[in-house]
Amino acid sequence: MGARPNLCFEWRGFRNPHPSGWRLSKERLEEEYQKGNVVIRPDGNLERRKYLDDYEGIPVDDFWGDIPRLTDGNERSGYPTQKPLALYERIILASSNPGDLVLDPFAGCATTPVAAERLGRQWVGMDIWDGAIDEVRRRMADSRQLLTDANPQIVYATIPPERTDGNDDGPEVPDLALRPQRQPEHWERLSHAEMRDILASAQANGDSVVCAGCGIQLPVRYMELDHREPRKDGGQNVITNRILLCGPCNGAKSANLTLSGLVRHNRRLGFEVDRGLAELAAIRARDAAQRCRDTIR
Ligand SMILES: [Zn+2]
């Protein structure tokens, strides 16, 4: 790569670190310096600092010990061989793309259809147990994926299709009618970093960012990106369902509380720092997210 004139400049006494120039524009570099992500070390060298919080995590390997087992009263539906939804979501994410067809010939208590639906896949579930269809409908309704009761999107058949290869006398197997998948819009595809930036400026107060759970004001790197409506209640990963919280608030909320549940929890335990600021931060974050939704096409 040759020199990029717009990235060749002098900044705080430093010249281009690479022949092709800097990686960041002068404004971005200064911004990163102000945030503490670029540091001038005592020995006079530059250091790019990265914080754990800026990462989405490390890739999983072939031992999955991080998915919690089912506990009573959580996802458990009473079906003896039920597995955690998070496990099936990981398998589907790792092995298919949005819009693909997922087939589970032992669909049992419907975890595969629910996981597939949440991830925007199409699905076919089969089971010899005649209660399976009710379980599919119940769990879809519980996770707010589809409406219950004769939803036209769930096609239910009890007569097994017959094969037609080499058996021209049998009935034709109908082609699978694939439901067209809705493509996510641009604003629904914002990265974690982009959502953080947008919410950080919406929740800013001077140089700090206000936690929407307790109202504490901290530098942006102490803020964590969380869901307003928890994922287990069908809360999506889109910016309109995101909020920046301090670490303790994010920990207390985990996957169980809504944002208003978290606020009540903090109030009850005396962890509230500034209710007015927290509410204002939550409102501003929502406004900024809605502006994104309305303007990014
Ligand atoms: Zn907080």
Asked, for residue 158, whether it belongs to a domain, the answer is yes
Q: Tell me the per-residue pLDDT of 118-146, one tens digit each, with 9 for 90 and over.
A: 888 888 999 988 888 888 888 877 766 55
DSSP codes joined into one string, 18-60? STT--SS-HHHHHHHHHHTSEEE-TTS-EEE---GGGS-----
CA-based max dimension of the chain: 84
* Residue 16 banded pLDDT, cuts 50, 70, 90: confident
Compute, in angstroms, the gap from residue 204 CA to the centroid of ligand 1.
Answer: 14
Residues with a beta carbon under 5 angstroms from ion ligand 1 = 211, 213-214, 246, 249
Q: Which of 10-14, 54-58, 114-118, 230-234 has the lowest mean pLDDT?
A: 54-58
Compute, in angstroms, the gap from residue 258 CA to the centroid of ligand 1.
Answer: 14
We report the CATH number of the domain holding residue 240 as: 1.10.30
Which residue shows structure tokens 């005396």?
270
CB-based contact 122:100 (threshold 8 Å): yes
Number of structural domains the chain divides into? 3
Q: Of the candidates 126, 157, 180, which is a domain's last residue?
A: 180
Q: Are residues 136 and 230 in the same domain?
A: no
Compute, in angstroms, the gap from residue 237 CA to the centroid of ligand 1.
Answer: 20
For residue 64, the one-letter residue type is W
Query: Domain range for residue 27?
Result: 8-50
Asked, for residue 164, whether it belongs to a domain, the answer is yes
Compute, in angstroms, the gap from residue 72 CA to the centroid of ligand 1.
Answer: 29
Q: Which residues on adjacent β-strands are paired with residue 39? A: 47
Task: Kindly compute the dihedral angle of the four CA atoms of residues 113, 114, 118, 124, in this order, to the nearest 10 degrees.
Answer: 10
Give the span between the Cα atoms of 23 and 123, in whole angstroms: 44
Total residue count of the chain as it appears in this document = 297
Compute, in angstroms, the gap from residue 165 CA to the centroid of ligand 1.
Answer: 63
Q: Tell me the per-residue pLDDT of 67-86, one tens digit each, with 9 for 90 and over.
A: 888 876 667 777 778 889 88
Classify residue 205 as left (phi > 0), alpha (psi -120 to 50) or beta: beta
Average pLDDT, the chain: 83
Q: Are residues 220 and 280 in the same domain?
A: yes
pTM of this prediction?
Answer: 0.46
CB-based contact 258:230 (threshold 8 Å): yes
Q: What angle do CA 242, 244, 247 make, to 5 degrees?
A: 125
pLDDT at 148: 40
And the tokens for 232?
């287990």
pLDDT at 151: 45
Q: Of the candidates 144, 164, 180, which is a domain's last residue?
A: 180
Q: Tell me the per-residue pLDDT of 201-217, one tens digit each, with 9 for 90 and over.
A: 999 999 999 999 999 99
